[in-house]
Structure 1
Amino acid sequence: MTPAFIRRGGSIEIIDLTKSNEHEKHCSGGDARRKSLQSCARRRWDGQSVTSVSLDNGDRLEVGIVVNSAGPNAGTVAAMAGLVLPVEPRKRNVFVFEARDKYSDMPLLVDPSGIYVRPEGSVYLTGGAEPEEGDGPADPTDFEVDWPLFEEVIWPVLATRIPAFEAIKPTRAWAGHYDYNTLDQNAVIGPHPQVKNFFFANGFSGHGLQQAPAVGKALAELIVHGGYRTVDCSAFGYSRVAEGRAFRELNVI
């Protein structure tokens, strides 16, 4: 086990961040439509750009640029444009538990097994260690919590690593989905080499929230200025997908 400690590390409240982004978008004149994408149309004469998208309410929108940031559904959205993207939904569970002993200043701890735990106010959050034999493509509408994962896999590891966690009380849990890049568990960022107005921001495999501000800025610069300026994301381009050239992320929990 290799110890690491980031003194200025912290956590992000995703709901507050989402609300802040929504507010900023509204103030800047952005138009958000909470509809499902049904299809993407490409020009018939060359097939090298997406010209419109259709929504489930029947609306058809003419587009100049399409950015695929569809999370676990990214592979499906890419397929609508006739493109291949090795990203699929992988189900992940997060559990909340109480413990008699409080470690409010405890940092995020990641066990070599992949199980993590950190304090969240007066309780703790834990997850990880999805069994490899059962960790395949998931139904993106399946949000059923896998309680046996906590009882049979996670809890024993927590109790071994931190003896005070032998007596804990699980209180609630939720399940969601990673946008899992099956090639290398790293992001795919930037335009498709043939369909040049179709941009990817996909496949973060669980660390998308950490990288989202930089990726959003990088893509905005690429689209507006024709090149990266602040953060060069060229190493994450689609070419490695086309070539099967993995840029592997080794720390996925």
Structure 2
Amino acid sequence: MNRDDLKKILSDVKDGIIEIDDAVNSLKDIPYKDLHFAKLDYHRALRVGYPEVVFTEGKDIEHLRRILIDMLNRDANILATRMSEEVFENIKDISENMIYNKIARICIINPKDVEKVGKVAVVTGGTADIKVAEEAAITLEAFGNNVERVYDVGVAGIHRLFLNLDKIRDANCIVAVAGMEGALPSVVAGLVDVPVIAVPTSVGYGANFNGLSALLTMLNSCAAGISVVNIDNGFGAGYLASMINKGFTKNGGER
């Protein structure tokens, strides 16, 4: 339930369209619905503007099915992250209306048409970083943001970045995804006047330490205007970028 849903319920009560008891029934699961093994936060969109997202990795299949079915019964637009193909095969029967992206490992269940605003550029150092970048990009699109994808423009061939700067600079926020030494966000942040969200990936050889070297590089960047999320956390980067982009657009920003 979001703010618009709550306003409609209150307006319908005021206008006599629905009874008070029916309105109370609609609100009964605020602040959450208790399934014992999970507490579904149907109040979240009302509080923070975005609904609860389901992290699927590690969940028991039957628990996951019950969570998703309960959300479907509320006609929710469900974003389910870190979903393997095996898990998708086990839950795809719950709805005929699903979009699954095996690269991003994201499933959107019962997708709604969402008006998209502003623009976020999602940039990668290499092709191997795309699975994390796509997690960010699809999260952004699901939350109503226009996305410009600029892939494989890392510092090893920095001319590729320079030749795509116009597209990158046209965004209200930038998600920069890189593994190896993780230098891309620092370079990008020195060339733009908008926030850069750095995403270290676990792509790299042994001394990359599964993304730790990239994470430390990004945390130690001398370029200002960078925030850093956890290793491979495309979803977290997309969520934060959406908040920045929508805040910029809401306040009348144009580029």
TM range (shorter): under 0.3
Higher relative contact order (CA 8 A, sep 6+): 1
TM-score by length of 2: 0.27
